[in-house]
Amino acid sequence: GQQLNQSPQSMFIQEGEDVSMNCTSSSIFNTWLWYKQEPGEGPVLLIALYKAGELTSNGRLTAQFGITRKDSFLNISASIPSDVGIYFCAGVTPLGDNDMRFGAGTRLTVKP
């Protein structure tokens, strides 16, 4: 199936810094989703994007649905220690049938 390339694989940053991660694919998607997973928990939806070019914010988080429909990015501004976790992108293909693909995740560590 279509692959999602998520980068970077991991990030070690200082509290207060901004963070940027992205997902790319050779195929187009109808929907882009960003999830966060904290240790010992399941992934929790952060932001959902349904339209090419859409830019959506959720507090300090901002995500965009790429205009080509093949990519998406997530930015976190002014990081805090509780931002620690694994962030996953997910894309839903135009094939429907719940064909959702996940990136391999970006592990974020924030040093106080």
Partner 1 sequence: DVKVTQSSRYLVKRTGEKVFLECVQDMDHENMFWYRQDPGLGLRLIYFSYDVKMKEKGDIPEGYSVSREKKERFSLILESASTNQTSMNLCASSRVDNSPLHFGNGTRLTVT
Residues binding partner 1 (CB under 8 A): 1, 4, 6, 9, 30-31, 33, 35, 40-45, 48, 88, 90, 92, 96-98, 100, 102-105
Q: Cα(85)–Cα(96) distance, rounded to whole angstroms?
A: 29
Minimum gap (Å) between residue 37 Cβ and partner 1: 8
- With contact defined as beta carbons under 8 Å apart, do 22 and 74 qualify? yes
Burial 5-30 (b: 16+ CB within 10 A, else e): ebeeeebeeeeeeebebbbbbeeebb
Q: How far is the CB of 108 from partner 1 (least distance, A)?
A: 15
- Give the number of other Cβ atoms within 10 Å of residue 95's Cβ: 11
Question: Considering beta carbons, is residue 49 or 110 the nearer one to partner 1?
Answer: 49
Q: How far is the CB of 41 from partner 1 (least distance, A)?
A: 5
Cβ distance to partner 1 smaller for residue 76 or 89 = 89
Give the nearer residue to partner 1 in terms of CB position, either 14 or 82: 82
Joined together, the tokens standing for residue 6 give: 């998520």
